[in-house]
Structure 1
């Protein structure tokens, strides 16, 4: 089968320019012969114009953002609106939209793009994905977390919602898109170094019914998904849902999710940190992370206190035993001064 190049795909998309805009730039609307939206990442607004018909000024599908000077074609729209990084993925999504047969040959990176594609899985790719997301309020992410008993969503600016996040279980699997909770992984200076995706069911009731429901990308070691401003006390654990479940009852305490036991054991410490609560999972890996992190903290003068769940993790506790039982269970594990300082805020 002859290889269809980027130019051919862009031309075919241009013939259905308005349909492309409706799918990938749904925050905008038609204005005459143009589709108007905030930017190529589907932000509401009016600064970007997509040409819907061929004119003397150029072919359908070409767009310009008057606010930034960015410009491109509908392949760029697909790439930026979905957070895709590799052109092969963009081309496959375009073919799915056009109902074209798959191309068995690899596609070259298109030179006409306004932005150079970031290496797949890199920190830059993670930063671009995070930038594509919207706040979680009123989205499927909020529905998903509330369904797991998590209601204290203040300080969750590092969580975002992507309505059509690219998913492929492996390099040979088919391309799919699912809604996703996207978490920004940051270093001690709050610079984004990675991202973590949790794909969700279309109604937000649970995780998506796929083989691999979570994936991380970028530079993760030593870094974490952070909730609240750093201070002299920190609660650090593995999973996002487990950490947020513990934080339900101490909403003023900064918290961090390192995303795995190995990464929890290696988490970096702020200079101001004086007491560290290790929100451990109740398994062998959790034991190892607790022991390593306690040893590291004590070596630099930081008091380390383990917070242990009744079951596998604190979200399982919350969903099984309820809020009052978990709050009582956490209260007796905290230092007395932190009960008064943090937990009374939840009363």
Structure 2
């Protein structure tokens, strides 16, 4: 069937270099690959498209070494052209391939051609492939409004201008902007994604910039043992529950690798790097946080890793940052660090 996603992707792969020259025109060919900055045709070299079949994989597949995103040439067309609906992507692909327009085919109710099982690896990768870096977006504004200004090394955070949201299976689909966080394993392989839907009308003291919906945060994919990661850990790292909590602490410990496990339950199951010798447990000040702290301490002791608990004054470190400011957060963190880590990781006052 010439109109199926698989067939279109195969036909595009047969003409991979021509596709790249059209849709990734800011890149160039090097050997059997096309190099460019990203799937949205930004100049650079971090994304490579395989132009010929090889033992490493088929032609037409691409991977971004900076973000670990990957996909096929249909994704390239969608992102470089700014398309959302798969029908538009397919139409553009058929036009490039000079194929006749396809006849609409009946589909099961509620299913689209490009649908993937909810929470599947394919669904996760398709979601992330439709995002962009947070710089200059509502996601960056959301974090800065929460007092988080240290945004170096946050390539795991992305922005989606129109992410689908359904309150339940019977409710109609809504569209809201969202901050998308990539969940990865210890080898930086993407295993899941976390969505924080945002209010396009701005920040308020109640929702703190999150969209006015019942569940503005949802995760998908394989989360157990994995996390949203900031920095590359060596012998020392910190781990906590929420993204905003971990990023708040990172404002005063900018050189320390950190991981957000997204919930107390997932924090207790976090996998440790082989090189880890000391873990800072970023505790939330509630019963679930206490339970996660105790179970993590037991796990670290069992494998010979030193555990040190970092506790907020209020509910979490983002509350502390917003209530007391960065200087008090720095002072409160300093007294909880191992002495050898103060000079190594703690940012000096401006």
> TM-score under structure 1 normalisation?
0.70
Q: Secondary structure at the match of 1:146?
A: helix
2:193 aligned with 1:190: no
> 1:270 aligns to what?
273
Among candidates 340, 344, 347, match of residue 343 of structure 2: 340
Q: Name the CA distance, whole Å, in 1 between partners of 2:73 and 2:246.
A: 41
State the match for 2:19 in structure 1. Answer: none
CA distance, structure 2, for counterparts of residue 217 and residue 240 of structure 1: 15
Q: In 1, are the aligned partners of 2:254 and 2:347 still within 8 Å (CA)?
A: no
Alignment counterpart, residue 292 of structure 2, candidates 261, 269, 289:
289
Q: How does 1:249-260 map to 2 (within 5 A)?
A: 249-260=252-263
Residue 84 of structure 2 is matched in structure 1 by: 78
Measure how far apart 1:247 and its partner are.
0.8
Aligned length: 266
The aligned runs of 1:198-237 (5 Å cut-off) are 198-205=196-203, 206-237=209-240
C-alpha offsets along residues 182-228 of structure 1, whole Å, 9 cap, x if unaligned? 00000000000000000001144201111110000000011000001
Distance 2:183 2:312 in 1: 24
Q: Distance in 1 between matches of 2:87 and 2:309?
A: 42
Alpha-carbon distance in structure 2 between the residues aligned to 1:224 and 1:258? 5
Q: Which residue of 1 aligns with 2:151?
A: 153
Structure 2 unaligned regions, length at least 5:
4-21, 26-37, 43-59, 63-71, 89-107, 204-208
Contact 1:251-1:345 within 8 A present in 2 as well: no
* Cα distance change of structure 1 residues 253 and 108 upon mapping to structure 2, 3 Å threshold: closer
Matches within 5 A, 1:1-347: 43=40, 70=74, 77-79=83-85, 106-107=109-110, 110=113, 117-205=115-203, 206-344=209-347
**Separation in 2 of the partners of 1:81 and 1:260?**
37
> Measured at CA, do residues 155 and 321 of structure 1 come closer, stay the same or move farther in structure 2, by a change above 3 Å?
same
CA spacing shift, 1:232–1:204, aligned 2, 3 Å: farther
**Partners in 2 of 1:173 and 1:106 — Cα distance?**
15
Q: CA deviation at 1:119?
A: 1.4
- Give, in angstroms, the shift of residue 176 of structure 1: 0.8
Change (3 A) 1:135 1:219: same
How much has 1:124 moved relative to structure 2? 2.5
Query: Any gaps of 5 or more consecutive residues in structure 1?
Result: 1-6, 8-35, 46-64, 83-104
Work out whether residues 137 and 159 of structure 2, in 8 Å CA contact, stay in contact via their aligned partners in 1: yes
Which residue in 2 is equivalent to 1:26?
none
The answer to whether the 8 A contact 2:327-2:349 is kept is no
Deviation at 1:123, TM superposition (A): 2.5
Partners of 2:87 and 2:299 in 1: how far apart? 42
Query: Deviations 1:86-126 (Å, cap 9, x if unpaired)?
Result: xxxxxxxxxxxxxxxxxxx724554xx6xxx4311113211
Per the alignment, residue 105 of structure 2 pairs with none
